[in-house]
Amino acid sequence: MTPFGIRRKLRKLAGRGGPPEVERFPLTIVLPDGTEQQVVAEKHYTLVMASQSLPKPLATGCPDGTCGSCRVEVLDPSGLSPIKDKEREVIAQWIPDATPNTRLACHARVLGPGAKVRAFNLFDLDAITGPKPGA
């Protein structure tokens, strides 16, 4: 019997037929120009991760969630994780004009449907690399 066959039999014996269903939820992102984009985010994705399906995803400026460049304004908190102390500290340190609705897109996680946020900074590859040849 192959290793796969053994694993399959063990899963059946344990009552697990396959991988668990991934929960996905709609998320609305209001872009800086005011247009709204709806994305589908897997449960526990950060807002940054969820925005990767957009032509220009939310911009981030650091690898560890401490710079504040991915700030968003929460318009509807439904389905978002609660703010934690580390996120509050970063907001207090780097975003002097923060409101109670300010969150960091790299910290805020999607836990259910209905969230709506306003983005301020988007990742623009063309602005970094310059126009494409012939454009």
Gap between the Cα atoms of 29 and 87, Å rounded:
20
Q: How confident is the model at residue 21 (pLDDT cuts 50, 70, 90)?
A: confident
pLDDT tier at 17, thresholds 50, 70, 90? low
81 lies in which domain range?
24-129
The pLDDT of residue 135 is above 70: no
Q: How many domains does the chain have?
A: 1
Q: What type of residue is 4?
A: F
105 part of a folded domain: yes
pLDDT at 127: 66
Question: Is residue 3 domain-resident?
Answer: no
Task: Flag the least confident range among 9-18, 74-83, 88-97.
Answer: 9-18
Q: In angstroms, what CA-CA distances link 76 with 37, 39, 47, 102, 111? A: 14, 15, 13, 12, 13
Quote the percentage of the chain above a pLDDT of 90.
Answer: 71
The CATH number linked to 122 is: 3.10.20.30
9 within a domain of the structure (yes/no): no
> What is the model's pLDDT at position 5?
73
Least confident of 5-14, 17-26, 55-64, 77-86: 5-14
CA angle 43, 10, 18 (to 5 degrees): 30
